[in-house]
Every structure is written in C-alpha cells, then in structure tokens.
Amino acid sequence: MSHVAALRALVAPGADGRRTLASVPGCWDGLTALLIEQAGFGAAFLTGGGLSMTKLGRPDLGLVTMSELVDTVAVIRDRVAIPLIVDGDTGFGNALNMARTVRMVERAGASAIQIEDQGFPKRCGHMAGKTVVPLAEAVGKVKAALDARHDMLVIARTDAVGVEGITAALDRADGYREAGADLIFVEGPRTLAETQAVADRFAQRVPLVHNLVEGGASATDSGAELAAMGFALALHPLLLLHGFVRHAPYWLASVQAHRSTSGLDIATLGDVNRITGADALIAQGDLYAG
C-alpha cells in the first residue's frame, strides 16, 4: 500500500459509518519523523510552526519558504514510510503559487497537504491578529490545489473562527468541501459547543481534522471527546518540540553548573545510533565494499 493509500485508509469510515480517531504527532526533520514511526503512529505531521521554530529559531509567522518546506519533506520521506501530512500554510501566495507548491510538495513525498485561508502576514492558527482572504479567493486556491495534485490528499483549513466567528467559519468550510477538499479542518473552535458544531456539520460527510496545541485555543485536549464527536485526525503538532524546550534549559543549566552530563536522564550515543539504524546502514555499505 502506498503512503497516500495508507492515509486514505486511516481516515476512512468503518463498517458502522464512524471514523476511528488517529493521533498524529508533529515532526520537523528525519529524526523526529523516525521517532514517530518507531512509536507506532499511523502518520506524522510536518508542522510549519515546528519547522520555523527549529530551523529558524523564529515563531510561526510565515517565515519559512516553499523551498525550505519541500527540502524538509524530501528528507523525511527518504527516512520513513508512514504517511506524511504537510503544513502548506497559504500555498506561499496566490492560486498559481498554490498549484506549484502542491506539485513540489507531492513530488517530494507528501501524502497530504494542509492549506489555509489566512491573509498576509500569516501567523500560527492559535495566535490573535489573523486575517482571512475573501471566500471566493480561498475557494479558488482550494480548486487550484486539487487540480495540481496527482494523488495526494488536500486538507482545507479555515482560520475564520477567530476572525469572523463560528458560523462564517462553518460556511467557509462547506465551500471548501463543495470544491472537493478531501478533509476539512476548522481551526481553533473556542468552546466544546463550537467543536461539536463542526462535527455536527461535517463528520458524516467528510473526514475532520482538529488541532491540539498545548496552550492553544482548543476547548479540549481529549482525544476521547473528539472521537465521540466523529473527528478523524487529532494533530499534536508541537508535542516533541514542547517537550524539548521544556527540558533543554535544565540540561544546559546542569552542564554549566557541574561541567558534566553525569546524572542527567538523557539518551547515549549508543541509543541514538540504535534508533537511527547505524548497524543496518554499515552492513548495507559492506555489501558494496568489494
């Protein structure tokens, strides 16, 4: 089964017509994607915010370029076989830019691309001060993405809840569904009632995506609640990054104070070589040693 087919199967309804919620952690490079795959998850999410924060040391304000994103997709696809959902932001411009972004991301190995309807300057979906483009423009960009893709899934996201309110966001999402989007993602419902309204409107018609960001705007952090509502995917985009940022200052302070890593609960070089497959790669190289 191809990675795209595997993702289609992951979000498909079961015999009872309901979808099983899949948790999808965020990655930003080959190692984080590999850790997600080895942990047994059915898919990984290349988070735009995580990529900006780790590659640039900058917040999620639309600073990552399309070529940087495509290069990262290629690195991850070279290392893991599981489906990869890619945060394509706004497509890096208008409908023509969107089409090129979709073609490039799919060729690099994405299983799905998430696109959104924010205006510029864009920012993290859980930050205040966002804008959204006119509905007709957003629908046109969804159609451009669908026309440009070969097999990859297209996830249409609206950020309109915090700008125009939940009713307008639902109407926008319906426009994206009617345009042919494979999955729908209403970002940042502010209450459980709004989250339920998203499910009531769409769960029986199209797979739904929800974003679970620690400290973000989501009204729930419970996968069980989302599953009961009928959501298909729960993204955990910054799980690994938030863990690293939480603990890294302690490790650094400890080394600065004691000039040693002794006593720190961290992995060793041997652990990392095992995880990344050093023995297998050396053995493969020996096959060609002559």
Q: How far apart are CA 170 and CA 128, in angstroms?
A: 19
Task: Reply yes or no on whether the pLDDT at 214 is more than 70.
Answer: yes
Q: Give the predicted TM-score (pTM) of the model.
A: 0.95
The structural domains of the chain, ordered by start, are 3-245 (3.20.20.60)
pLDDT, tens digit (0-9, with 9 covering 90-100), for 78-90: 999 999 999 999 9
Average pLDDT score, the chain: 95
133 close to 118: Cβ distance less than 8 angstroms: yes
Quote the pLDDT of residue 123.
64
Percent of the chain with pLDDT over 70: 98
Residue 162 pLDDT grade (very low, low, confident, very high; cuts 50, 70, 90): confident
Token look-up 């989007």 returns: 181
Segment 141-153 mean pLDDT = 98
Amino acid at 146: L
Segment 265-277 mean pLDDT = 96
Largest CA distance in the chain: 67
